[in-house]
Amino acid sequence: MSSEKLYTINLEGMDFHAFHGCYELERLTGSHFEVSLRIVSPLGRVAEDDDVTQAVNYLTVYETVREQMAVTQHTIERVAQNIINALHDSFKQIVAVECTVTKIAPPLGGKVNRVSVTLKSDF
């Protein structure tokens, strides 16, 4: 068993207007979405050296999510998978990601506040 310390980074409630959905109107007018992430990475010497260049940079994470939210998809499952893949491509040190994509007020024919999908990947 490894004694390597891991740390968790949480980015919660990232807010986007995006054009995901299975209906053409959703892809034309867009909807309100939230994305939350839980990222696990080895701590290494990040804390000891107080060196952001060794860390999973939150700004880069946000920019990666923003870029993926701009790519129109039919399902929020695909959006979440794309975010996870892009984060792993950017940060090879990541060992696990949990991504929740939430569509606010989805068009389901009745009052529904939100629908969410959470995907988890271990690398």
Instruction: Supply the DSSP symbol for 93.
Output: T
pLDDT tens string 32-71: 999 999 999 999 999 999 998 899 999 999 999 999 999 9
Could you give the angle at the alpha carbon of 74 between the alpha carbons of 73 and 80, nearest 5°? 60
pLDDT at 1 over 60: no
Q: At 92, which helix (H) or strand (E)?
A: none
pTM of the model: 0.92
C-alpha 70 chain-centroid distance: 13
